[in-house]
Amino acid sequence: MINFATVGSGWITDSFIQAAQLSGKFQLVGVHSRTEEKAKQMADKHQAAHYYTNLEEMAKSEEIQAVYIASPNSLHFEQALIFLKNKKHVICEKPIFSNTAELEMAYKTAEENGVYLLEAIRNIHTPNFHILKEKLAMAGPLRSAMLPYISYSSRYDLLLQGEEPNIFSAAYSGGALVDLGVYPLYLAVCLFGEPKKVTYHAVLLRTGVDGSGTLVLEYEGFVCTILCSKISHSELLCEIHGEKGSFLLEDAAPISEIKFIDSHSKDSQILSVDQEEQNMIYECLSFANVIESKNDEEYNLLKNWSQIVLRITEEARKQNNIIFSIEK
Q: List the chain pLDDT tens, one digit each, 328 residues.
A: 999 999 998 999 999 999 999 999 999 999 999 899 999 999 999 999 999 999 999 999 999 999 999 999 999 999 999 999 999 999 999 999 999 999 999 999 999 999 999 999 999 999 999 999 999 999 999 999 999 999 999 999 999 999 999 999 999 999 999 999 999 999 999 999 999 999 999 999 999 999 999 999 999 999 999 999 999 999 999 999 999 999 999 999 999 999 999 999 999 999 999 999 999 999 999 999 999 999 999 999 999 999 999 999 999 999 999 999 999 9
Q: Nearest Cα to 53, choosing from 27, 35, 79, 77?
A: 35
Domain that holds residue 115: 2-120
Last residue of a domain, one of 120, 144, 178: 120
Alpha-carbon gap, residue 85 to 67, rounded angstroms:
12
In a domain, 102, yes or no: yes
Give ∠ CA 253-259-265 in degrees, rounded to 5: 155
130 and 270 co-located in one domain: yes
Question: How would you write 289-310 as a 3-class SS string?
Answer: HHHHHCCHHHHHHHHHHHHHHH
Domain boundary among 88, 120, 152: 120
Among 104, 120, 136, residue at a domain's last position: 120
Q: Mind listing the pLDDT tens digit for each residue in 99-125?
A: 999 999 999 999 999 999 999 999 999
pLDDT of residue 98: 98
Contacts of 129 (CB under 8 A, 6+ apart): 123, 187, 190, 255
Residue 114 domain flag: yes
The predicted model scores a pTM of 0.96
Cis upstream peptide for 254 (omega within 30°):
yes
Same domain, 56 and 8: yes
| Spatial separation of the C-alpha atoms in residues 247 and 249, rounded to whole Å | 6
If asked whether residues 15 and 69 sit together in one domain, one would say yes
**317 within domain boundaries:** yes
Average pLDDT, the chain: 97
Residues 6 or more apart whose CB falls under 8 angstroms from that of 101 comprise none
